Amino acid sequence: MHSPETRPSLIVRLGGAEDQSAWWAFVEAYEPFLKHLVARQGTPPSHVADVTQQVLIAIARSVDGFRDDGRDASFRRWVHRVSRNTVIKYMARQRRQISGQGGTDALLQLDQQPAVEDPVLDNQYQHEMIVWAASKVQSEFSSSSWTAFWGTMIEGRSVAALAEELSVSPGSIYMSRTRILRRIRLLIDEVMK
C-alpha cells in the first residue's frame, strides 16, 4: 500500500490565511489522526474533541514557523510535538482548576522530552489516511467493485472465494482493486499537495 507523505506545498499553503481550501483539506485529512493522537496522550475521552480543536488552532498559529529538518516524517513529528505540547498545557490547566496549584515536575519533565518517532503512530497515521480516502471515493465505484476491493484488501478474504460469491472472474476482482487503490492514492496525493 502506498505510504502517504505530507507534501511541502500543502504546508506552504497552510501559511496563507486566505487559502481556506488548504485548511479544509488539512482538517479533513488530519482530524481523525489528531483525535487518535490526543486520546493516546491521555486526554479523557470527553475532552478529545476540544483538545483536538486546540491542537488545530496551535498548528494554525505556528505553521509558519515549521521548518523541514530533511529527515523522514518531519511534518508529522512537528505535528506530534505541537499536539503533545497542547495536551500538556491542557492537563496543566485541568490540574490547576482542580487543585488551585501550578504545574507539576512530571509535566515539566514531559514537556522537555524530545519527540520520539513512533512506528505504531506512523502506522496509525497511514491507516487513518487510507480509511479517510476510501470513504471519500467509495461512491465513485459500483457496489460489487467496492465489495471486491474491501473484501480482499481490508478483510483479507481470498480472491477466488470472493469471485465465486460475486459471480465474477478473479481478474475482475484484481482490476477493481487496482482501480480503487489508484483512486485512493490520487486523492491522498491531491490532499497532500
Q: What is the structure's pLDDT at 15? A: 67
Instruction: Report the pLDDT averaged over residues 104-114.
Output: 61
Q: In the structure, what pLDDT confidence band is assigned to residue 143 with cuts at 50, 70 and 90?
A: very high
Instruction: Report the pLDDT averaged over residues 65-71.
Output: 76
Instruction: Report the pLDDT averaged over residues 87-115.
Output: 65
Q: In the structure, what pLDDT confidence band is assigned to residue 5 with cuts at 50, 70 and 90?
A: very low
For residues 130 and 184, the answer to whether their CB atoms sit within 8 Å is yes
Checking if the pLDDT of 165 tops 70, the result is yes
| Residue 37: how many other CB atoms lie within 10 Å | 26
For residues 11 and 25, the answer to whether their CB atoms sit within 8 Å is no
Instruction: Report the pLDDT averaged over residues 102-123.
Output: 62
Q: What is the structure's pLDDT at 4? A: 38
Checking if the pLDDT of 144 tops 50, the result is yes
Q: What is the structure's pLDDT at 107? A: 59
Q: In the structure, what pLDDT confidence band is assigned to residue 2 with cuts at 50, 70 and 90?
A: very low
Which of these, 75, 113, 106, 69, lies nearest to 91 by C-alpha position? 106
Instruction: Report the pLDDT averaged over residues 154-170.
Output: 92
